[in-house]
């Protein structure tokens, strides 16, 4: 998803609506948590690992991306 896509989706809601992050852990428990921060950084760690399933990330990403910090799971 690109920033413009995120803006388009969020613009459908009242600007005062609370935003939460959602993620599912390996046991299939779904967490819904407040977003702690938004950053512009690399999607890869120092070993070149993104932590995202290869089918879910654009293989052409080599620059920085916007990261929504969903906190610990």
Closest CA to 41 of 6, 59, 66: 66
Domain range annotation of the chain: 19-69
pLDDT along the chain (73 residues), means of 10: 89 91 86 86 77 60 71 66
| pTM (two decimals) | 0.62
Res 72: pLDDT:
67
Res 48: pLDDT:
76
Q: Which residues contact 70 (CB under 8 A, 6 or more apart)?
A: 21, 22, 23, 31, 33, 35, 36
């Amino acid at each position: 998803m690109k920033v413009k896509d995120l803006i388009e989706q969020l613009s459908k809601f009242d600007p005062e609506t609370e935003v939460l992050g959602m993620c599912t852990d390996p046991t299939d428990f779904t967490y819904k948590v407040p977003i702690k921060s938004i950053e512009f950084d690399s999607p890869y760690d120092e070993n070149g690992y993104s932590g995202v399933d290869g089918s879910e990330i654009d293989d052409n990403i080599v620059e920085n991306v916007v990261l929504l910090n969903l906190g610990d799971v």
